[in-house]
Structure 1
Amino acid sequence: MIQGSLLSVPSNYFDGSISPTWRNGCNLRFISLNHNRLQGQVPHSLANCSMLEFIDFGENQLNDSFPSWLGNLPELRVLILRSNGFYGALRKFGTGKFSALQIIDLSQNKFTGDLPTAYFEMWDAMKIIKTSYMTYMGESDIYPGSFPFFAYENYDYSIIMNNKGLRLEYLKIPSTLAAMDFSYNRFEGTIPNVIGNLIALHLLNLSNNMLTGHIPSSLAKMKELECLDLSNNRLSGQVPLQLSELTSLSSFNVSWNHLSGPVPQGKQFDTFDSSSYTGNSGLCGAFLENKCGLETFPLTPSTVTKDEDSRFGSSFKFNWMIVLIGYIGGLIVGVVAGNEVTKRKHD
Structure 2
Amino acid sequence: MSSLSDLKLHNNRLNGTLPDIFINATKLQSLDVSHNLLEGKLPASLINCSSLQVLNLESNKFKDTFPFQLSSSQKLQVLVLRSNKFYGKLHHSDGVWSGFPQLKIIDVSHNDFLGTLPSDYFLNWTGISSKTGNNSTEPDYIGAFLPHQYYASIVLMAKGVSMEMERILKTYTAVDLSGNQLHGQIPESIGLLNELLILNLSSNAFTGHITSSLANLTVLESLDLSQNKLSGEIPPELGKLYSLAWINVSHNELVGSVPQGTQFQRQNCSSYEGNPGLLVSSLKDVCGSRIEPTSQQSEQPVSLQDEEEEEGEWLSWMAAGIGFAPGVVFGITIGYKIEWFIKIFGRTRTC
In the other structure, the counterpart of 1:138 is 143
TM-score, normalised relative to structure 2:
0.76
In the other structure, the counterpart of 2:165 is 170
Q: Distance in 2 between matches of 1:81 and 1:116?
A: 21
1:29 correspondence with 2:29? yes
In the other structure, the counterpart of 1:91 is 91
User: Higher Cα Rg: structure 1 or 2?
Assistant: 2
Query: CA offset at residue 136 of structure 1?
Result: 1.3
Q: Distance in 2 between matches of 1:249 and 1:235?
A: 20
Query: CA offset at residue 243 of structure 1?
Result: 0.7
1:287 correspondence with 2:281? no
SS in 1 for 2:113: strand
Q: Distance in 2 between matches of 1:31 and 1:291?
A: 49
In the other structure, the counterpart of 1:114 is 116
SS in 1 for 2:169: coil
- Tell me the C-alpha RMSD between the 2 structures: 2.2
Q: Is the 8 A contact 2:47 2:70 kept in 1?
A: yes
Q: Is the 8 A contact 1:138 1:155 kept in 2?
A: yes
1:125 correspondence with 2:112? no
Distance 1:39 1:116, change over 3 A: farther
Q: Is the 8 A contact 2:277 2:294 kept in 1?
A: no
Query: CA offset at residue 3 of structure 1?
Result: 8.9
TM-score, normalised relative to structure 1:
0.76
Q: Is the 8 A contact 1:69 1:96 kept in 2?
A: no
Q: Any stretches of 5+ residues in structure 2 without a counterpart?
A: 296-351
Query: CA offset at residue 248 of structure 1?
Result: 1.1
Q: Is the 8 A contact 1:193 1:216 kept in 2?
A: yes
Q: Distance in 2 between matches of 1:24 and 1:138?
A: 20
Query: CA offset at residue 124 of structure 1?
Result: 0.3
In the other structure, the counterpart of 2:342 is none
Q: Distance in 1 between matches of 2:259 and 2:124?
A: 31
In the other structure, the counterpart of 2:150 is 155
SS in 2 for 1:167: strand
Q: Distance in 1 between matches of 2:98 and 2:210?
A: 29
Query: CA offset at residue 20 of structure 1?
Result: 1.1
Q: After alignment, is 269-278 or 10-19 more displaced?
A: 269-278
SS in 1 for 2:189: helix
Q: Is the 8 A contact 2:97 2:122 kept in 1?
A: no
String of CA shifts for 1:284-324, please: whole Å, max 9, x gaps: 212354699xxxxxxxxxxxxxxxxxxxxxxxxxxxxxxxx
Q: Is the 8 A contact 1:72 1:95 kept in 2?
A: no
Q: Any stretches of 5+ residues in structure 1 without a counterpart?
A: 141-150, 293-347
| Matched residue type, 2:143 | G
1:196 correspondence with 2:191? yes
Query: CA offset at residue 276 of structure 1?
Result: 1.0
| Matched residue type, 2:75 | E
Query: CA offset at residue 275 of structure 1?
Result: 1.3
Q: Distance in 2 between matches of 1:71 and 1:246?
A: 33
Length, aligned pairs only: 281
